[in-house]
Amino acid sequence: MRARSRTALVFALLALLAGLACAPQAVAKQPARPAAASGTFRNPLNTGPDPFLTYADGAYHLTTTQGDSIRMWSSPSLATLLDADPVTVWTDTDTSRDQHIWAPEFYRFGDHWYLYYTADDGTDDHHRLYVLESSGDDPTGPYHYKAKLTPPNHANDFAIDPGILQHDGKLYLAYSGINPYQHNGLNIAPMSNPYTVSGDAVAIDAAGGCPEVREGPEFLNRNGRTWMTYSTCDTGKPDYQVWMMSLANGADPLVPGNWTQHQGPVFSRADDRGVFGPGHHAFFTSPDGTEDWLIYHAKTTSAYTYTDRTTRAQKIGWNADGSPDLGTPLAMGATQDLPSGDPGSGNHWINDDGRSSGSGTVTYTGAWNSGTGCAAQCFWGDDHWSEQAGNTATFTFTGTRIALLSVKDTGNGIAAVSVDGGPEQRVDFYGAIRTGETLQYLSPRLSNGPHTLRVRVTGEHNASSGASFVSVDRAEVYTD
């Protein structure tokens, strides 16, 4: 790769040619000319795994696994969820269930919201299922502890990933836990109300392409059937994926033989788009109720790792036989139309080469490397990088906040980041495993207007890193 000096003349030429430019990799599915910024969004929506999302009271509400508590992000537009500030809706003082809090999901029944999750005392095999109840009719709470969910035949058994099946006017608890087929296998138990399990769980023998895990059951009822989708394989593997079974309306879900297995995965890795391990998902509808959407986590690395699982969303369709068509995972930064009825926000991107879908650009001082070797791990397939102390990259933008996303790697070092010439904040771009389009920095909230974000290479790195490179790939600008 050869170093490039970014001068005003180069940027003038780039601006003239932007409409003809094309990205060279799968991310080239982005439009050659920027789409209307107010009606589009890009993933990720959150840096956490195991997402659940619903639209209610004029906003999207999202939870992801946080470990020590349950936090919720709320935003009127999908485009600004990454920009939203979380609200902690639950922490626990009971030491039997205050650690490893995973996979929260929340549903409205009657005039209350019920929040389901799994937690333990610090030992993984002690994971059990719990439910909270809201004090009023607000998905953000406040919540109070309601009950432990324990099928009588599995009262002392490992259990994770609670999901609620609503079928023929009745409620059922679905979860992953001990059964004859897997240590983490699918189980379904009857419920007499949103917080009471009223009978034994039955085990479902679900296919999955690998032997170890069936987890994260989710449900769609459409076209005369209930479709149960679930994740298979160890979530650390790049082959973590989604499979599906279905149940006819009127059939008893507690009779395992009533479930029909769909052959093969319905959502799985897309190497050419840099998407690995897509799964642990949920479904939501667009604000106007006309579209069905999938929210899920995935990684930008094919390494066996539990890190870098970020939350993403994309629209789904329906097949001629009435089954859901989850499609193929999109590249991380692929620009998508917002769900129907989403008001949008005016957010936009700035690429490392100076192109932007709104106001803004980026300029460099010093000699930076640039090129397309990053491929599907980068926005538009390209990035800039330097380890020369004192080199700078300065984003000029108009908005209220800016997020910087780029490569973390074993040879990356420490940058000094400042806004509008203010104090510098040290940001470590090192990663034990190389990952792309990783959130490196999210600025404080700013007054709406023109601003600058400067990234300065310090030439320093932590003890684990082999070099001091700083990567510049994409900025996401918010105007809310």
3-class SS of residue 368: strand
For residue 199, count other CB atoms closer than 10 A to its CB: 14
d(CA 317, CA 447): 40
Q: Is 215 a catalytic residue?
A: yes
d(CA 218, CA 230): 6
Structure tokens that stand for 99 in this block: 């650690």
- Catalytic pick from 83, 92, 105, 215? 215
Q: Phi/psi at 8 (nearest 5 deg)?
A: -60, -35
Q: Could you tell me which residues come within 8 angstroms of residue 81 by beta carbon, excluding any fewer than 6 positions away? A: 45, 46, 60, 62, 73, 75
- 3-state percent helix, strand, coil for the chain, nearest multiple of 5: 10, 50, 45
d(CA 334, CA 44): 10
Which sign, positive or negative, has the C-alpha torsion 318, 319, 325, 328? negative
- Cβ proximity of 210 and 233 under 8 Å: yes
d(CA 14, CA 32): 13
Q: Phi/psi at 11 (nearest 5 deg)?
A: -70, -35
From 359, 426, 352, select the one nearest 393 (Cα to Cα): 352
The structure tokens 């930008």 sit at 300
Q: Is 50 a catalytic residue?
A: yes
- Catalytic pick from 50, 342, 383, 437? 50
437's enclosing H/E stretch is: strand 435-442
C-alpha count within 13 angstroms, C-beta hemisphere, residue 366: 17
d(CA 94, CA 96): 5
Strands (E) in 142-275, as ranges, are 143-149, 159-167, 170-177, 185-193, 196-197, 202-204, 214-222, 225-232, 241-248, 260-261
Give the length of the chain. 480
For residue 305, count other CB atoms closer than 10 A to its CB: 18
| Active-site amino acid positions | 50, 215
